[in-house]
Amino acid sequence: MGLCGLLMTFLRVLTKTTTKNLHVSSYYYFGTAALFILLVIAVYFQLSRGTALQRYYSRAPRSGVDTDWKHPFQRFAFFTGEALRVLRYKHVFCHCFLLTLVTAQQYAVMPSVATMATDFLGSGWFPVLLILVYNIGDVLGRGPLAMYYVYSLHWAWLSTLVRFLVIAGICLSVPPHMMSDRPAWMAMFVAILGLSTGHLTTSLISYASSEVPGRAKETVGYLSVLSMTLGMAGGSAASYCIKALLDRTG
């Protein structure tokens, strides 16, 4: 996800430097993005027919949702019961809750609030630079930082709570608030948010299923995706409220 965001940001920089016409630039951007999505779909179907995937898929344990229930409503009912059972594990519930909160924090200010900062570079370049800084931090957080930093659930809670101060800093870096006169403030807060988002998301997903039985690990994976989806929806809704508050106080 982080690498995809970084590639899309580089694509935005490329299209912005290619032409100053906003309509032409949008055609380049979304056209290239659509071709990339089609390429990913084609690669997926090609790999799904490969012998390696079929071999590992045949060895994977099957849950009841794969073997016993064929009707969609039966599958949904089975998964709901299985999800509620797995969520009784305190370890799993904490990880899913934190994953929802971390994702909501990200979408509450990125990119909607961050792009409200003063354009210190002109021609709309500073918001693009901020998104690039965020995505670079996100990739570093998911890669080197997640690989070498010792993970702890207590530190995850503390880091998630501290991120509210980072969000407050981003909001205060929007004009005419107290830290909006220097671009370094907004860039620093955005970089910290990107690093922490990448690291926390990767760590939470990796360790969420570490204390559950084998077959329940698949359900934890689905719950992780559902938690991120809820976070996206909640964070996007919160961004509208934050923007309205900043506009009113500005």
Q: Which among 9, 36, 60 is the end of a domain? A: 60
Count of domains in the chain? 2
pLDDT for 200 equals: 92
Residue 123: phi, psi to the nearest 5? 60, 25
Query: Based on the domain organization, do 28 and 147 belong to the same domain?
Result: no
Q: What's residue 164's pLDDT?
A: 96
Is there a domain that residue 69 lies in? no
Q: What is the per-residue pLDDT across 119-170, written as a single tens digit (0 to 9) for each?
A: 777 777 888 888 889 989 998 888 877 677 667 888 899 999 999 999 999 9
DSSP result, 41-84:
HHHHHHHHTSHHHHHHHHHSPPPHHHHT--SHHHHHHHHHHHHH
Between the CA atoms of 26, 39, 139 and 113, what dihedral angle is there, to the nearest 10 degrees? 30
CB under 8 A, 24+ apart: contacts of 182-188 = 183/117, 183/118, 183/120, 183/126, 186/114, 186/117, 186/130, 187/129, 187/130, 187/133
* Amino acid, res. 236: S
Q: Are 126 and 181 within 8 A, CB to CB?
A: no
Predicted TM-score (pTM) of this structure: 0.79
Helix (H, G, I), strand (E, B) or coil at 133: helix
Q: Are residues 84 and 32 in the same domain?
A: no
**End-to-end CA separation in angstroms for the chain:** 34
For residue 25, tell me if it sits in a domain. Answer: yes
209 neighbors 162 (Cβ within 8 angstroms): no
140: CB partners within 8 A, 6+ apart: 194, 195, 198
Tell me: the pLDDT tens digits for 164-222?
A: 999 999 999 988 888 888 888 999 999 999 999 999 999 898 888 887 877 788 888 88
Asked if residue 237 belongs to a domain, the reply is yes
User: 55 and 111, same structural domain?
Assistant: no
Cβ count within 10 A of residue 163: 19
Under 8 Å between Cβ of 172 and 178: yes
pLDDT at 31 over 90: no
Sorted by sequence, the CB contacts under 8 Å of residue 164 that are 6+ apart come out as 105
Whole domain around residue 28: which residue ranges? 1-60
Residue 22: its pLDDT value, please?
Answer: 60
Highest averaged pLDDT of the listed ranges 2-16, 22-36, 42-56, 131-145? 131-145
**62: pLDDT confidence band, cut at 50, 70 and 90?**
low
The CATH number linked to 152 is: 1.20.1250.20
Q: Which amino acid is it at 232? A: M
